[in-house]
Amino acid sequence: MSTKTLIKNPKIKEEKEIVKVETLLSSADEYPLQNWSKFVKAGYIKRVEDEEVREKVLELIGPCDSVWITTPKDMGEKIGTCFDWLFFIIKPFPYKELSIELQVIDNTAKRHGFKFENKITTTNNRHIFSKIGINMSHGWSLLELDLQKLVFKCCGARFAELCCIRIHGSCRVLRVYTTASYVSQDELPLHYRPCAKSAFSGAKKHIPMINT
């Protein structure tokens, strides 16, 4: 897990804005799951060469209840970041299940869980635990989560801290990172962008619809 400081809009010198980025997972690292635990009951987790991004990515294959990765490794620990934006550069597989779970703490110290699934199209908001559909097709996608908006619309509170992340099911993962404020792909360094050095034009962007 690493934190870097970036300069937003570097071409406009008088309007430079410092933006902090914290990497939670990078498939290019020597040990990409150093801060993650993994569970495999049926299927596998391994690094493979992706033909589109032309670099090694993390591949999870198996049912959602049989394959997953979780950060932090230890259940008693927390990620601890208070950055408002969370991004996943991820590639679902056609007709395969994928879900992403988050746990956060709000400004009143209450915990809330969120589960994003590609097999549902609606939001089931239970205040403490919400299920949200993500209509992601196959191919590389950029999932953008505004944690402040998410917690406010589903829970009526303010986001304070990110506790843990779990990725289930079948997909490929290139990078997971958080930022202190919104940063577009064009404002990130090349190695943060999907497929920056290949002929692939870029990932499709997905922002989950949150119904209250």
CATH code at position 66: 2.60.120
Residue 197 confidence (pLDDT):
44
| Spatial contact of 148 and 63, defined as CB atoms under 8 Å apart | no
Domain membership flag for residue 15: no
Q: What is the pLDDT along the chain (212 residues), one digit of tens a residue?
A: 555 554 454 444 444 455 688 999 999 999 999 999 999 999 999 999 998 888 899 999 999 999 999 999 998 899 999 999 999 999 999 889 999 999 999 999 999 999 999 877 666 666 788 989 887 777 888 899 999 999 999 889 999 999 999 999 999 999 999 999 998 877 877 767 655 444 344 456 665 655 54
Domain membership flag for residue 72: yes
Residue 7 confidence (pLDDT):
44
Three-class SS of residue 173? Answer: strand
Q: In total, how many domains does the chain have? A: 1
Residue 2 confidence (pLDDT):
55
Residue 37 confidence (pLDDT):
97
Name 21's Cβ contacts closer than 8 Å, sequence gap at least 6. Answer: 3, 4, 5, 6, 177, 178, 179, 180, 183, 188, 192
Contacts by 130-137 with C-beta closer than 8 Å and gap 24+? 130/154, 132/208, 132/209, 132/210, 133/208, 133/209, 134/100, 134/206, 134/208, 135/206, 136/90, 136/92, 136/98, 136/204, 136/206, 137/92, 137/94, 137/204
Domain membership flag for residue 127: yes
Domain membership flag for residue 54: yes
Range of the domain at 95: 25-177+201-206
Domain membership flag for residue 36: yes
Residue 88 confidence (pLDDT):
94
- The residues with which 142 forms a beta bridge, in sequence order, are 89, 205
Task: Tell me the backbone φ, ψ of residue 71, rounded to 5 degrees.
Answer: -130, 140
Residue 38 confidence (pLDDT):
97
Residue 94 confidence (pLDDT):
86
Domain membership flag for residue 53: yes
Domain membership flag for residue 66: yes
Q: What is the pTM of this model?
A: 0.85
Number of H helices, E strands in the chain: 1, 15
Among the listed residues 178, 181, 167, 164, the one whose alpha carbon sits nearest the alpha carbon of residue 79: 164
Q: What is the 3-state secondary structure (H, E, C) of 60-122?
A: EECCCCCEEEEECCCCCCCCCCCCCEEEEEEEECCCCCEEEEEEEEECCCCEEEEEEECCCCC
Residue 57 confidence (pLDDT):
96
Domain membership flag for residue 8: no
Residue 200 confidence (pLDDT):
40
